[in-house]
Chains A and B, each alone.
Chain A
Amino acid sequence: MSGTDYREDYDGRASAYEAGDRLNDRLALRETRSSRAPAAIVAAVLVSLICLYILLEAALKAIGQPAWLLEPRDFAAWLNQLPENVPTLILGTSGVLILFAGLFFFLQGVLPGHLHRHVLPSRRGIAVVDDEVLASSLALRARTRANVTEEQVLVTVSRTLVEVQLRPTSGIPVEESAIQSAVEDELQRSYIDPMPEVRVRVSTSGVVGQ
């Protein structure tokens, strides 16, 4: 095998690997963000209903029949006379409602829509974990370290922050730094990137009789 053959082979493999990597990156992005399917379906139904009504009136007009609900010319005249022929309160309220509906769809389209999930490194394909699962594993680790029951630990996981709230059993002190290092160790084992900040709060009042 000559040198050039070897290089071609190597390049081929490298690009195939990169293509797989890119696919996995795209998959990870899709798995951690909302697809906006529900909002899309609502918008499509809304637009279809409006179109259906206009279709009906236009078809009636085209075949020379009287209009069903609104004569297009009457509607245009009503639009022209707008601020005076409707009470200000009703006009303003309906305007605000339409504005909010528009804002909802606009924000659905523009906001990133992160799901409450983290990406874990995995040998094959990609792995995503719901924050709730991560939180329950961290809570288990924290409570075995502090030697308390399930009800005394509350862990919330967000994209960049892990918050641990712990109520110790009365008379048995709990070291905050020990809990902190236990939770951080558990997070490090998961290789979550970027590693979220860990904040531990041990409450001053204890729980009696656990």
Chain B
Amino acid sequence: MNETPRVLNRVLLTLIGLLLIGVGATTVALAAVPALAGSWHALTRGAGAGIESVLDATTLPGQRDSWLWIVLALVMLVLIVLMIAWVAQQGKGRVGTLAADYNDDGGPGAVELGSAVAEQALKAALLEREEILHATITTYVFRGTPGLRIRVLPRKGVPPYLVAEQVSDLVEALDLVIGRETPVVISIGTSARARLGRPERVH
């Protein structure tokens, strides 16, 4: 639950993959089938002549090289910026505000609830329990609304539906305190400590 652009990731990865597959397949074909060399020469010679004539046409009088090189440099600059922006989008969406109320009730100011309120209350309540080894609570924005992501690492052998139920109870109690229902993701996982630690005793 964050704002990683998953569809964009997949579309761009597919495009880059197809491009590389095209280049690789051409190279393999050239290496494996000597008969292709003749048509490859003809094809690239034609393309080279085309590029050469475009470059000649765009060379200003008195200049040595075409101004297309400047355009190419600028396009590359834009592409690099776009790639950096793409990387910056990954895993984005962590926020410090769980709920905000800007409804104008006549009084000055607004009410904002920091995400630490929910995070620390839930964490303290979860770590009191014997069967839960560790809990991490973070607040992420998803589709414009802040939501809680609760990662719980129970002791080995604890039934996950019981853990989910207990966390749901705590979240419902939190709803009453905060006064509104935020989206919640409960993720139950395991860690090295759970794997090596002693299993939960049967009560």
Contacts and interface: CB of A to CB of B under 8 A. Distances in A.
B76 A125 contact: no
Contacts of B202: 144
A113 to B, nearest CB: 9
Nearest to A117: B187
Interface size class of A (residues with CB under 8 A): 35 or more
Interface in A61-96: 61-62, 64, 76-77, 79-84, 88-89, 91-92, 94-96
Given A44-B86, A62-B70, A92 B32 contact: yes
Interface stretch (A45-53, A165-173, A176-184): A45-53
B159 A137 contact: yes
B25 interface: yes
Interface in B68-115: 69-70, 72-73, 76-77, 79-80, 83-84, 86-87, 90-91
A102 B32 contact: no
Contacts of B70: 58, 62
Interface string B175-197: 10000010111111110000000
Given A92-B28, A102-B24, A122-B186, A109 B6 contact: no
A91 B27 contact: yes
A130 B56 CA distance: 62
A133 B72 contact: no
Interface centre among B13, B19, B189 (most CB of A within 10 A): B13
A150 B199 contact: yes
A105 B65 contact: no
Given A36-B9, A61-B65, A83-B40, A101 B76 contact: no
A105 B186 contact: no
Given A36-B6, A102-B19, A109-B17, A83 B37 contact: yes
Given A43-B13, A62-B69, A101-B24, A55 B77 contact: yes
Nearest to A31: B185
B27 A47 contact: no
B10 interface: yes
A158 interface: no
A156 interface: no
9 contacts: A31-B1, A40-B9, A44-B87, A79-B44, A92-B27, A99-B20, A106-B17, A106-B18, A123-B165
